[in-house]
Amino acid sequence: MPRILRSRESQADYNEIWDYIAQRDITSADRLVDSFDVALATLATAPKVGRTVEFLGKDLRSFPIGNYLLFYRALPDGIELIRVLHGARDIATEFFS
């Protein structure tokens, strides 16, 4: 089974996203983070599915889930989730240093 590593920043992103949405609807917050997890499992087995975004960071790829983007790097045996950011943000290299 491919592995999925998570950066400290991506874990914080998960928590912030869940907290924000859960203020209005806990079920929706749970469903969203579950959809992130399903996508990560797919990406871990087929990491080239995501779009290359090397202008943001070396070997960085992104994959959309609803209004959010999963930013990750392929590993020999899976992926490393770097960040989870809302697509409407002004996403710059500072998010990935």
- What is the predicted pLDDT for the residue at 97? 75
Please list the ranges in the chain whose pLDDT falls under 70: none
For 30-44, what is each residue's pLDDT tens digit? 999 999 999 999 999
Residue 5, Cβ density class (10 Å: 0-12 exposed, 13-18 middle, ≥19 buried) = middle
Total domains present in the chain: 1
pTM for the model: 0.94
Domain that holds residue 77: 3-96
Give 63's contacts (C-beta < 8 A, 6+ positions apart): 39, 43, 49, 50, 51, 69, 70, 72
CATH code for the domain in which residue 67 is found: 3.30.2310.20
- What is the predicted pLDDT for the residue at 34? 97
